[in-house]
Amino acid sequence: MGKRIGILILSIIIISCSAKSSDSNKVDGNTKLETKIDDLVANMTIEEKIGQLTLRGTSSRVKGALPDSLKQAVREGKIGAFLNVMNLDYVNELQQIAVEESPKGIPLMFSRDVIHGFKTIFPIPLGLAASWDAETAKNSARVSAVEVSSVGVRWTFSPMLDIARDSRWGRIAESPGEDPFLASVLAKAYVQGYQGDSLNNHTSLAACAKHFIGYGAAIGGRDYNTAIISEPLLRNVYLPPFAAAVNAGAQTIMTSFNEVNGVPASGNTFILDTVLRDELKFDGFVVSDWESVTEMINHGYAADEKHAAELAVNAGLDMEMTSKSYEKYIKVLIEEGKISEDQINFLVKNILRVKFKLGLFETPYVPKNHNGDLYAEDHLNKAEDAAVKSSVLLKNNDILPLKRNVKVAVIGPLASKPHEQLGTWTFDGDETHTVTPIDAFKKSSVNYDFVEGLSYSRDNSTKNFNAAIAAAKASDVILFFGGEEAILSGEAHSRSNTNLPGAQEDLIKALAKTGKPIVLIIMAGRPISISNIINDVDAVLMAWHPGTMGGIAIEKIIFGDAEPGGRLPVTWPITAGQSPIFYNHKSTGRPPKAESFVQMDSIKVGAWQSSLGNTSHYLDIGYEPQFPFGYGLSYTTFEYSDLKLSQNTISNDETLTVSATITNMGNREGEEVVQFYIQDVVGSITRPVRELKGFERILLKSGASQEVTFKISAQDLKFVNNTMKYVVEPGLFNVWIASNASTGLKTSFNYK
Ligand code: NOJ
């Protein structure tokens, strides 16, 4: 016994010694790094410093040899980073000039939007969010990093962390969805995936958390539009994913195009300096979005380019993307005393720190043996797994999974569209490697007849309807592949009407008349309003834009070789007119309820105006969404029971546990995403009706049960109040363990 304790004490001492020495190594390493950076900056001319603040983005258009003017600018140290140089020969040539011929030999940083894959394309980020699985997000980022670093790119503009509550907004496709907790889990996973175990590795990328901040709150879902966000809302909802990314070590942050409460993000001292640097202790660098510095003129915040540069520099924006206000005006602004050289030194140091951490000074070139493993089997397997985990089964009248011996009519514009399947931001994905559902059906000998009926998602022609109907009549089941082409979501691609475009609804209605069951598989960048046709179909599977391996994933799900593993990361509206719509809204003084809902057709003609007894709802569609946040069906069913709370009251640093038993009631194995929500019932500022605070994905065999436990401490109950303090307030808290945000087992406790 005594010996064992002795060994234990010894090992504790060894562990604490090594922890101490690794801490002090880190401090020493940091001090050395800072000294290196200081020495370098002390010797740089102002032109070279401005060069480091410059991200040149025009070279993707370079055809033939690189222009001499560009090479000369690099030679003079006037460019610090490039966007979109996707040719390894050009990368090497430019890097060689920077390292060997520029005055200080500072390496260039090459960047690219690798958002959900470089060559092997994963589901769009909203799809990855539907996996509710950090490992899936991390896999997508790691595979992206390994592949794109083989062409010299060491910096990607991802993860996009804008909370999105409006499906009209095209960029909801790139977002982690509507919830700050889920988005924060994903933020950390993406950063870990891109940046790897060590940044100083030729397969690691600097991640870029974007768009800082509030971009998803664009009025009416109109891209680039104004965001009006109270400071508590900013801090409670929009900031947490960025804080998670910074805590996970994200090296760069991109400012957003929008203004927040009157001040464009790229010139916003409060968000860039106070929040990001002072509070979050961010020590990487901030890059603008594409021309977002000079767009401050359009916003009516900067008078001209020179003024824009002054505002951005003083707010702490380190690197200007593509516009040239820094290049043109920093020198004169210093001479005029409008900005200080100290501030410029601060910005330059932030950038050099990242370049050093990436190991670019020691290893500026792509190692000869690094081929990126493009489309490696492991990458494709991970992409397929992600597509399975992201797919959300929204409706199933016991039709899915199909038996292998049925005859299917494959109809619809997206069954065989490799380009559309990849989704937004996939400049590099190669269509010829994309496996469409039709490719997958061919490979696995599905008995099918394929008649598109519509040749693209916006097609309004009914000329092929009869052929589609004939194919349907000759089959047992219709698989309708509908949705949106890739170009209908993403940046600058908002829609006011989010129904299935073109004549898709008409074709579905015509097919429904055959009496054959219809499985609707949606590929789209946003929740699609399907209220017009939901009763005409027997099953709905949301596949998002599922990426390279989407076809195989869908084939496996449809025929029951895989489970649709996703849950909605956003509330799915009945119509776009309900947007913005999100589960973690406030209550209002007149919360909606079934008893008080008045459907407009029941109102008498000439009725007198009265608001008495009315609540917060729409006269035509009520107040519920089509599907709630967190929703998704399985091929089995789960029962939630036996909710337990470890204690009814907690205080200070106590931790409380809540648990429930989940039982697989069906006759096949299945995965469930068990969700944990709280509500702070009364607050010094009103609190949301529910807030996600935890989730766990569990796998249960048929008939098996598992107890799932969540812990709650004061930390989980905190929020930012009206005085911008992060507080937990005494009082009653409701808790739910649930399968989605509109249901669950409920109990409550008190915080004292
Ligand atoms: C504009 C987009 O808003 C941003 O997300 C992207 O990274 C940059 N352009 C660079 O392409």
Give the pLDDT mean for 215-228.
97
**Strand pairing partners for 477?**
408
**SS3 category, 185:** helix
Contact 289 CB / ligand 1 (< 6 Å): yes
CA-based nearest residue to 541, from 422, 635, 472, 454: 635
pLDDT of residue 14: 38
Distance between Cα 290 and ligand 1 center (Å): 6
Query: Lowest mean pLDDT: which of 33-42, 222-231, 606-615, 690-699?
Result: 606-615
Give the pLDDT mean for 140-152.
98
Provide the angle, in degrees to the nearest 10, between the axes of the packed helices 305-315 and 341-357: 60
Rounded Cα distance, 192 and 126, in Å: 18
- pTM attached to this predicted model: 0.95
Atom of ligand 1 nearest to the CA of 257: 3
pLDDT of residue 9: 35
pLDDT digits (tens, 9 = 90+) for 467-508: 999 999 999 999 999 999 999 999 999 999 999 999 999 999
pLDDT of residue 652: 87
User: Beta-carbon neighbour count of residue 508 at 10 Å?
Assistant: 24
Rounded Cα distance, 544 and 424, in Å: 11
Rounded Cα distance, 360 and 368, in Å: 15
pLDDT of residue 61: 54
pLDDT digits (tens, 9 = 90+) for 599-610: 999 999 999 998
Give the pLDDT mean for 649-663.
95
Distance between Cα 399 and ligand 1 center (Å): 42
- At 72, the pLDDT band (50, 70, 90 cuts) reads very high
Residue 411 in this model has a pLDDT that exceeds 80:
yes
- At 65, the pLDDT band (50, 70, 90 cuts) reads confident
pLDDT digits (tens, 9 = 90+) for 121-132: 999 999 999 999
Atom of ligand 1 nearest to the CA of 215: 3
pLDDT digits (tens, 9 = 90+) for 289-325: 999 999 999 999 999 999 999 999 999 999 999 999 9
- At 5, the pLDDT band (50, 70, 90 cuts) reads very low
Q: Which two tokens stand for residue 635?
A: 């091929």
- Within 8 A by CB and 6+ apart from 331, the residues are 46, 47, 50
CA-based nearest residue to 680, from 653, 645, 638, 716: 716
Rounded Cα distance, 223 and 130, in Å: 23
**Percent residues over pLDDT 70 in the chain:** 96
Find the largest Cα–Cα distance for the chain.
92
pLDDT of residue 435: 98
Contact 113 CB / ligand 1 (< 6 Å): yes
- CA-angle at 394, arms to 392 and 396, nearest 5°: 115
With beta carbons less than 8 A apart as the criterion, state whether 188 and 247 touch. Answer: yes
Nearest CA, atom 1, ligand 1: 290
pLDDT digits (tens, 9 = 90+) for 337-370: 999 999 999 999 999 999 999 999 999 999 999 9
Q: Give catalytic residue positions.
A: 289
Rounded Cα distance, 429 and 418, in Å: 10
Contact 749 CB / ligand 1 (< 6 Å): no
Contact 210 CB / ligand 1 (< 6 Å): yes
Residue identified by tokens 């004939």 is 470
Average pLDDT across the chain, whole number: 95
Distance between Cα 629 and ligand 1 center (Å): 28
How close are the terminal C-alpha atoms of the chain, in Å? 42
Query: Mutation test of ligand 1: which of 110, 266, 290 has the most ligand atoms closer than 8 Å to its C-beta?
Result: 290
Residue 330 in this model has a pLDDT that exceeds 90:
yes
**SS3 category, 735:** strand
- The DSSP code sequence of 401-451 is SPPTT--EEEESTTTT-HHHHH-SS-SS--GGG---HHHHHHHTT--EEEE
Rounded Cα distance, 137 and 122, in Å: 9
- Integer-rounded Cα Rg, in Å, for the chain is 27
CA-based nearest residue to 483, from 517, 440, 449, 454: 454
Residue 415 in this model has a pLDDT that exceeds 60:
yes
pLDDT of residue 653: 87
Higher pLDDT, 26 or 77: 77
Residue 13 in this model has a pLDDT that exceeds 70:
no
Distance between Cα 210 and ligand 1 center (Å): 9
User: Beta-carbon neighbour count of residue 2 at 10 Å?
Assistant: 6
Rounded Cα distance, 520 and 528, in Å: 12
Helix ranges (DSSP H) in 199-267: 231-233, 240-247
Alpha-carbon torsion (436, 439, 445, 447), positive or negative: positive
Give the pLDDT mean for 8-32.
56
pLDDT of residue 21: 56
Residue identified by tokens 């590929």 is 523
pLDDT of residue 731: 98
- At 17, the pLDDT band (50, 70, 90 cuts) reads very low
pLDDT digits (tens, 9 = 90+) for 516-558: 999 999 999 999 999 999 999 999 999 999 999 999 999 999 9
Cis before 176? omega within 30: no
Cis before 213? omega within 30: yes
Higher pLDDT, 356 or 6: 356
